[in-house]
Amino acid sequence: MTSRPPGGTIAIAGKTVSRLGFGTMRLTGPGTWGDPDDRGTALSVLRQAVHTHGISHIDTADAYGPHTVEHLIHDALYPYPEHVLLATKVGFLRPAPGQWKPLGDPFYLRACVEASLRRLKVEQLELCYLHRIDPEVARDDQIAVMHALQDEGKVGHLGLSKVTFNDVHYVLKHGGPPVAAVQNALNCTDRDDDAVVQLCATLNIPYVAYRPLNAGALAQAHGPGKPLHWLLAQSEHIAPIPGTSRPQHLDEIVAAVQNRPD
């Protein structure tokens, strides 16, 4: 294991975890659909992230596969180390490969949480994001069912994914549950989220940056170091979650972050 957590540490959902997380979306087949070509390699990458590199923030979603990656996480890491934070997301239908449809019906969200509990074999989802706020369902109803699941002990902390300043402000202003993390796309070529970044900084909400390497495009020329260093330098409350399906690429990502200039 690396001597220090990659990227330093950050407090998310009641745990102190590595600032560099691991996004698991790529551990599926094409179109984020079905099983990976090599299941053994996918399991190895998950173990490598946690046990070799000391990454303690693992991000997933029931929509990845769908369901594939939650099963992989269980098979690779169960029983889960106490210091590891497993974050999952609910609220997407997957009609076919490459297709995503938000569904915020409260009954569906509840069913998703119950199913994720079974797949991960846990009694509580430590951090569960509303993967998208469904514009066709009352926002209050979507937040209310997540709050109810918290009250029942099935969700520990609530996160919001791909949200605007107004979305976050609305949830907080209208008596919703505390927001433990916000997850939006952010990288050195996709910087148009200043309002949410600043709101999270003001309210001490961790900002989890997905697509930090823009699906690998930003690392093609000179490797992952420059784009990840740019993100980590923006603010201490920003935690990037790059993903990969290749062990050697994960080695490169962690090495680049560990070699970050102070």
Q: What is the pLDDT of residue 169?
A: 92
pLDDT of residue 251: 97
Per-residue pLDDT at 262 exceeds 70: no
Which pLDDT score is estimated for 173?
Answer: 86
- Tell me 187's DSSP state: B
pTM: 0.96
Residue 259 has pLDDT above 90, yes or no: no
The DSSP call for residue 80 is P
Q: What is the pLDDT of residue 2?
A: 54
pLDDT at 92: 97
Among the options 64, 108, 129, 207, which is catalytic?
64
Mean pLDDT of 102-109: 98
Q: Is the pLDDT of residue 225 over 80?
A: yes
- Residue pLDDT, tens place only, 171-185: 998 777 799 999 999
Instruction: Provide the CATH number for the domain formed by 9-258 in this structure.
Output: 3.20.20.100
Lowest mean pLDDT among 61-75, 77-91, 105-119, 187-201: 187-201
Instruction: Tell me what the mean pLDDT of segment 33-45 comes to.
Output: 98
Check if 64 is active-site.
Answer: yes
Q: What percent of the chain has pLDDT over 90?
A: 89
What pLDDT does residue 190 have? 87
Burial class of residue 254 (count of CB atoms within 10 Å of its CB; 0-12, 13-18, 19+): buried
Torsion of CA 112, 116, 119, 120, to 10 degrees: 180
Predicted pLDDT of residue 4 = 85
Domain boundaries, the chain: 9-258
Cα separation, 122 vs 142, in Å, equals 23
Please determine, for residue 206, whether its predicted confidence score (pLDDT) is greater than 80.
yes
At residue 261, the pLDDT reads: 66
Query: How far apart are alpha carbons 125 and 150 in whole angstroms?
Result: 9
Average pLDDT, the chain: 95
